[in-house]
Chain A
């Protein structure tokens, strides 16, 4: 208790503490700040500083402001401040910390909201991890990688059936504002909790509104997924340096799980804002601007980030890090600089269209412009067997539907194709926060594509689907649990096909026109 302490003890404690401190017994290299402003400090001296090395700048009131070196010129260093530039003034002393940027990594971060330096933002206790991970780290080499072959189920039927994502894949989610890009990412995170896949979610909010992040955290808590999620958050008022670091530090956190034989999913929301933050930093560092005023290395900015997502070989523990980067386009222009870059880096893209969104087709996934380049091998057998013709059918339907608008007489084959397309489109509509499990996806798609719901009006397809799923779960729970494993191929002679079609036909009878 404070009252029990004598003055002499206080003095002894202070002396002991001073003795224990590792004080300036070493000769250290020092530089001085020559200019500072807009979050960038120019430093004279420190010739031994390395790229991305942390600098400690003496603040006005004795405190220390951290920065990291990004421009190493002959006469000076351009460093980006990690805190406010208010207390940094010209003439301030700068020393080297002796490390490059790193963040705490490990399971202790699960369930937490942190900033890009690993400091808690959720008001919880300090995060004490046993390990730290480098923010900038080289990606795994060729020998350490294995082909993508395990499914990363999103729970969104149109994605899992048409553009399957595998563990270790990088699949871009691209679209205009307000087209449901984040919703897809959130549903995928929720699905990992619902299906108990054990996949760890890492969500990186880059310059997102803090209210939006707060809502997301609440939702994830409600869904019970927060315990397997790490949120790395930066708001619009944070310095550009933190926005720039956010995806790299989150990747370091995800890599911990990948390297420890676990599976992780990382969502970068969004890389457009990341590129803009990097553009701001680059322009302030006087780097020459290129196309759209982005610096010349904006491709490398994202390629080195996304290359760190990988599926590892069995020798390295067979862990994986799957990336879902998000890119926002302007008026559907996917040929702008950053979208084309990220499209070429990733293993496919899910393109969301404003028109489809406004027509009520949600998720508004464009069947024609979306693609998954490596996910085919990762798709579960059962979903693959029912969804193989889905993409072609839907693309043809959308083309035919645009002709049918002219009202000309159509032949029977075309009419039936259009009707099936309408039913499939209706079926693939899915509410947010309602990811579907494998058996639900298989049963729904199989019933519609085999024509079991042909007599059901399009507006009642969702009712029919609900009734079918309820009936199957009530009457054949064990079979459906077996089907969820996804190993069974669904063909006309399989027992599941019979179960689904019988149930679908009897459900359809009650809903016919």
Chain B
């Protein structure tokens, strides 16, 4: 049998999640059986993209310090309006290296408004 593309696996998995069924074990068994466990991270990324197309957004939010509830609420609103998401789930990360601001990564897209990136851009523009 021809090797299934990651995109197809992700599409099936996302479809099942959207329908409320959990097939994580089956996907894991398939990957082990096909010796494709090395692709697990990429399949998860693809699945998040496929979920986003179905209105379910999984986002990673990185900031220098803990987010306040106000900020969280604002970010949720921003994501649901800008990324056409009906349902938003997010994982919070704290990383002092970003110095300030926030970075949102979701479904193969990114919004980087951290101070670290701004400073790097400033450095690159050789002012």
Report A's interface with B, CB cutoff 8 A.
14, 17-18, 21, 23-32, 34, 44-47, 62-64, 74-75, 93, 95
Contacts and interface: CB of A to CB of B under 8 A. Distances in A.
B62 to A, nearest CB: 13
Given A24-B113, A25-B113, A34-B42, A45 B108 contact: yes
B112 interface: yes
Interface string B114-127: 10011011111101
B1 interface: no
A156 B113 CA distance: 63
6 contacts: A24-B110, A24-B118, A30-B110, A45-B49, A45-B108, A93-B110
Contact of A63 (B105, B122, B124): B124
B82 A23 contact: no
Interface residues of B, number: 26
Nearest to B105: A30
Contact of A27 (B82, B121, B123): B82
A31 B109 CA distance: 8
Nearest to A24: B112
B45 interface: yes
From A24, A64, A95, name the one whose CB has the most chain B CB atoms within 10 angstroms.
A24
B7 A21 contact: no
Nearest to A26: B111
Nearest to A47: B108
B112 A46 contact: no
A45 B49 CA distance: 9
Given A23-B121, A74-B5, 11 more contacts: A21-B118, A24-B114, A27-B111, A28-B109, A28-B111, A30-B108, A45-B49, A47-B49, A63-B124, A64-B124, A75-B46
Contacts of A47: 49, 108
B109 A18 contact: no
Nearest to A93: B110
Nearest to A13: B127
Contacts of B113: 23-25
From B5, B42, B82, B108, name the one whose CB has the most chain A CB atoms within 10 angstroms.
B108
B54 interface: no
